[in-house]
Each structure stands twice: as structure tokens, then as C-alpha cells.
């Protein structure tokens, strides 16, 4: 369990939720207390369901295969700007969602060039970097995003993930040491 303060209350967070909060310490403070309590209760219910068989009796064998692990109920989109680069970490996404983002995000940049590069198939593609947890990366090199371009990009990301059933929970933004702006969008899907 991880302990933290939210609005003056001491909160215990289970390990899967701690993974969600480890990406940005500020997101713990932005989430309402009832959301944390609900998420903890849902996690405990899932764990109890997994421990019990379909007949309601406890399972005797401890099987640690990948199929027995609970699915991560969150997606975190890390956006680094100028040049724009995206990283999506968390639960698996449908291929249609990734394809839609690949098609629309290069057009959202301030310097978008719907040129020969996209027509020939040189458009940027998401690459699966890691399977545990699922991590996709997309880099839109040689482009620039001003504040308006970033807002349009965020709107397209939110719209695409919302179509798959994800809900935006909170955001976090800061400037990194190498003068790049980093924005994180935290999505959650009710089970």
C-alpha cells in the first residue's frame, strides 16, 4: 500500500493504482477523494472475484499466468512538444483507434504539411515499444505545435479515446529540463 494525502485525508492506494499515480505526483492531489475510494473498492472486489472460483469457493492453486492478471483500467497519454511526440501507456487499445490517431495527429500541428510524404506512406506510425505495460510511441518530427495546435491535438486524442469508452480523469503539465513542454492525459474506463 502507498500512503498519500488528498484534501487533508490520509489515503491508502493499492499497488496497481500506485502505478497510475507514479507517473505524476500532482495527479494524486487533483483526484477527488471519492474517486480514490471507489477505485480502491473496485480493485478489492476484482481481487476477491479472482481468488474465488465460479462456484464461490476459494481457489487452491496459485496460477501466475498472464491471463490471470487483471487488466490495467487506465491509459496515460504523454505528449511532449516541439517537436511533438506521443507515448501511450496502459491498457490495450484497438488498432482502429491507433490508426485514427496516426491519421489525424500530424494534421493538428501548426506546421502540418499534407504533402507527398503522407501520400507516399511516410506518415508517422505508432510503434509498440513494450508489452508489459503496453507502450506505444509516435514521433511527429520536423513539426511545431503552438498553443492552438496543442489544444486541437488534445481534443483529437480525447475524442478518439472517448469513442473506445475511455473517460478523461485528469491532466498534468510541466516543462522538462531540456525546454520541452510535457502534458499528460489520464484516462479511465469503468469496468
Work out the pLDDT band at 24, boundaries 50, 70, 90: very low
Q: Are 6 and 28 in contact (CB under 8 A)?
A: yes
Cell of 169: 480523469
The mean of the pLDDT values for the chain is: 74
Q: Are 143 and 111 in contact (CB under 8 A)?
A: yes
Q: Would you state the pLDDT for residue 49?
A: 72
Q: Would you state the pLDDT for residue 58?
A: 46
Residues 123, 182 within the same domain: yes
The reported pTM is 0.60
Q: Would you state the pLDDT for residue 70?
A: 57
Residues 89, 62 within the same domain: no
pLDDT tens figures, 99-122: 999 999 988 888 865 544 554 556
Whether 89 shows a pLDDT value over 90: the answer reads: yes
Residues 88, 142 within the same domain: yes
Q: Choose the final residue of a domain: 53, 68, 83.
A: 68
Domain that holds residue 108: 74-188
pLDDT tens figures, 119-165: 455 678 888 888 888 899 999 888 888 889 999 999 999 999 999 99
Close Cβ partners of 143 (under 8 Å, ≥ 6 residues apart): 83, 84, 106, 109, 110, 111, 112, 113
Q: How many domains does the chain have?
A: 2
Q: Choose the final residue of a domain: 35, 68, 101.
A: 68
Amino acid at each position: 500500500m502507498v500512503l498519500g494525502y488528498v484534501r487533508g485525508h490520509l489515503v491508502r492506494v493499492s499497488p496497481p493504482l500506485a502505478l497510475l499515480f507514479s507517473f505524476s505526483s500532482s495527479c494524486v492531489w487533483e483526484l477527488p477523494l471519492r474517486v480514490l475510494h471507489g477505485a480502491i473498492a473496485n480493485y478489492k472486489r476484482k481481487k476477491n472475484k479472482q481468488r474465488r472460483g465460479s462456484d464461490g469457493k476459494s481457489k487452491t492453486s496459485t496460477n501466475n499466468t498472464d491471463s490471470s492478471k487483471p487488466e490495467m483500467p487506465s491509459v496515460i497519454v504523454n505528449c511532449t512538444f516541439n517537436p511533438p511526440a506521443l507515448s501511450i501507456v496502459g491498457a490495450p487499445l484497438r488498432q482502429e483507434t491507433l490508426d485514427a490517431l496516426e491519421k489525424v495527429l500530424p494534421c493538428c500541428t501548426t506546421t502540418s504539411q499534407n504533402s507527398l510524404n503522407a501520400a507516399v506512406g511516410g506518415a508517422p506510425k505508432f510503434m509498440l515499444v513494450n508489452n508489459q505495460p503496453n507502450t506505444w510511441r509516435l514521433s511527429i518530427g520536423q513539426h511545431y505545435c503552438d498553443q492552438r495546435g496543442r489544444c486541437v491535438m488534445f481534443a483529437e486524442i480525447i475524442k478518439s479515446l472517448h469513442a473506445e469508452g475511455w473517460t478523461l480523469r485528469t491532466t498534468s503539465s510541466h516543462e522538462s529540463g531540456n525546454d520541452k513542454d510535457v502534458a499528460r492525459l489520464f484516462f479511465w474506463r469503468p469496468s
